[in-house]
Amino acid sequence: MNDASLIWRFIQQALAATLIASTSCLSYSAPASESAAIKRTRTLQVSENGRFLTRSDGSPFFYLGDTAWELLHRLTREDAETYLKRRAEQGYTVIQTVVLAEFSGLEIPNAYGALPLHDNDPLKPNERYFEHVDWVVKKAEELGLYVGLLPSWGDKWMKGRWGVGPEIFTPENAGAYGEWLGRRYANSAVIWIVGGDRPIENDTHRAIIDGMARGLRKGDGGSHLITFHPPGSRGSAEWFHAAPWLDFNMRQNGHGASFNVNYAKMRADYDRVPVKPLIDGEPIYEGHPIAFKAEEFGHSIAADVRRAMYWDLFSGACGHTYGHHSIWQFFDTGREPVNRPLMTWRKAIEEPGGNQMQFGRRLIESRPVLTRIPDNDIIVPETVTTSIPGAGAYRFVATRDSNGSYAMVYAPIGRAFRVQMSKISGKNVVAWWFDPRTGKATTAGHFSNEGEREFTPPRPGEVLDWILVLDDASKNFPAPGSAVWK
């Protein structure tokens, strides 16, 4: 870039900063009062070991998200409250949604007839639209939920595969918009998620995302965590791992049902330096055409989304995100379907996989959280390794406490397998079978801690998943999954 270009870039940035400071439609002052929930949110942070998210008191925060991409764009306040209440009851902690939505989010108004921007200009937000955003964010907070808030879907800054645009962001106005948004929600229960299902293809794309993230951080004074939502089979670390604003990494492992395709990449991102927490922000959705090929593979079911959860968690994720194909788009009677949804969102909110996500959270929180590490070496491989640890949809994975107080093995099918007992501390081990469909645990015996031992899931030969939990008997842990939350 020559000197003239640099000068022009500086002038553009200065003009954008002036606009955000002086234009009346961009002015906003946060309320003076703060609830206890907001104060807790403002100090949500990365754990000391860099692997997890914690609250201000150091207690672990389990990120159990749901993808509600069109929530702010399509639902009335009454319907939004119905949705948020049910997800709070089901143990979710984060609702991921988008301010400038994907499907004609700039051209089709929200449920109250308001468009988000005047003249499709990021420096001219529509107060009527953002008053509705305010309401949803506040209602979520009242219910104990954080909002994983995407400032914009990716087709607003690049040509996407299915978004309709228009492209409105530049490196200059992205920063100004981010600063305004950050200031508006500085005291709200949000986690920032920049990006929106699009790759970084050139320096301009990178500058737009970097500018928006820096603007958010400037606007909220650094009070909220920031991550990046990547396209399918990719991760934020690919482009932004070293960025100072990226607090934790997010992958989109996508809508395939095989471990070998994308879920195997979790460990590589977990092992990156510097260490950062990791989460799958978009795994296979329940009720989604598998790999986008409904005619070939059909639609996914609860077992598919359960496998994704435990593959992710046991590979080092600090939480998990669920999604349902009817809910992300809030499909309803009279609304044009996107890619063959099977039911309305009102019915989908009670689908079994969505209900069963809480059992994964309860399982993890019933044992020490902040010392948990991935460790597939617990599983003794068979001579035919495609049997154990397995492949495709039948892949076994394991996790344990770094201090050896417990270990867990996810068995997606009823096939006998052996474990290295030496991974557990103490002279004696208590074994349990945890049912991820019901959240119930049953004892599987007490054993001396030596050598290898074979375990067979309760329903051998069936395509039913189970989790083997092995505890150091001296720790006197409660039954797996016994954690409760208020």
Asked if residue 485 is part of any domain, the answer here is no
pLDDT above 90 covers a percentage of the chain that reads 87
Question: What average pLDDT does the segment 317-322 reach?
Answer: 98
Last residue of a domain, one of 332, 365, 398: 365
Give the Cβ contact number of residue 453 at 10 Å: 17
Residues 211 and 280 in one domain: yes
For residue range 82-116, list pLDDT tens digits in order.
999 999 999 999 999 999 999 899 999 999 999 99
- pLDDT score for 158: 84
Residues 81 and 43 in one domain: yes
**468 sits in which H/E element:** strand 466-472
Asked if residue 481 is part of any domain, the answer here is no
Residues 158 and 264 in one domain: yes
Residues 123 and 195 in one domain: yes
Asked if residue 425 is part of any domain, the answer here is yes
For residue range 122-169, list pLDDT tens digits in order.
999 999 999 999 999 999 999 999 999 999 999 998 876 666 779 999
Last residue of a domain, one of 349, 365, 381: 365
CA distances from 420 to 305, 317, 381, 474 (A): 28, 23, 10, 19
Q: How is residue 73 written in tokens?
A: 């764009």
Residues 342 and 404 in one domain: no
Mean confidence (pLDDT) of the chain: 91
pLDDT at 33 over 50: no
User: What is the domain-level CATH number for residue 21?
Assistant: 3.20.20.80
Amino acid 229 reads H
CA angle (254 as vertex; 305, 93 as ends), nearest 5: 55
Structural domain total, the chain? 2
Last residue of a domain, one of 350, 365, 380: 365
Asked if residue 1 is part of any domain, the answer here is no
User: What is the domain-level CATH number for residue 384?
Assistant: 2.60.40
**180 sits in which H/E element:** helix 171-184
Residues 311 and 378 in one domain: no
pLDDT at 24 over 80: no
Asked if residue 240 is part of any domain, the answer here is yes
Residues 426 and 350 in one domain: no
Closest CA to 257 of 311, 214, 331: 311
pLDDT category, 484, cuts 50, 70, 90?
confident
Residues 390 and 361 in one domain: no
Report the interhelical angle of 127-142 vs 77-89 (nearest 10°): 30
pLDDT at 36 over 60: no
Residues 148 and 296 in one domain: yes
- What count of residues does the chain have? 486
Return d(Cα 174, Cα 229) in angstroms, integer.
16
pLDDT at 261 over 90: no
Closest CA to 79 of 10, 4, 135: 135
Asked if residue 163 is part of any domain, the answer here is yes
Residues 237 and 196 in one domain: yes
CA distances from 24 to 217, 223, 424, 446, 455 (A): 22, 25, 62, 69, 67
Written as one string, the DSSP assignment of 181-216 is HHHHTTTSSEEEEEE-S----SHHHHHHHHHHHHHH
Asked if residue 459 is part of any domain, the answer here is yes
- pLDDT score for 29: 39
8 Å CB contact between 405 and 415: no
3-state helix, strand, coil in the chain (%, to 5): 35, 20, 45
For residue range 393-411, list pLDDT tens digits in order.
999 999 999 999 999 999 9
Residues 203 and 118 in one domain: yes
For residue range 267-314, list pLDDT tens digits in order.
999 999 999 999 999 999 999 999 999 999 999 999 999 999 999 999
CA angle (320 as vertex; 443, 60 as ends), nearest 5: 75
pLDDT at 234 over 70: yes
Written as one string, the DSSP assignment of 65-125 is EEE-TTHHHH--HHHHHHHHHHHHHTT--EEEEEEE-TTTTTTS--TTS--SBSTT-TTSB
Asked if residue 105 is part of any domain, the answer here is yes
User: Coil, strand or helix: which one is 256?
Assistant: coil
Domain span including residue 450: 372-475
Is the model more confident about 36 or about 32? 36
Question: What average pLDDT does the segment 235-264 reach?
Answer: 96
Residues 46 and 151 in one domain: yes
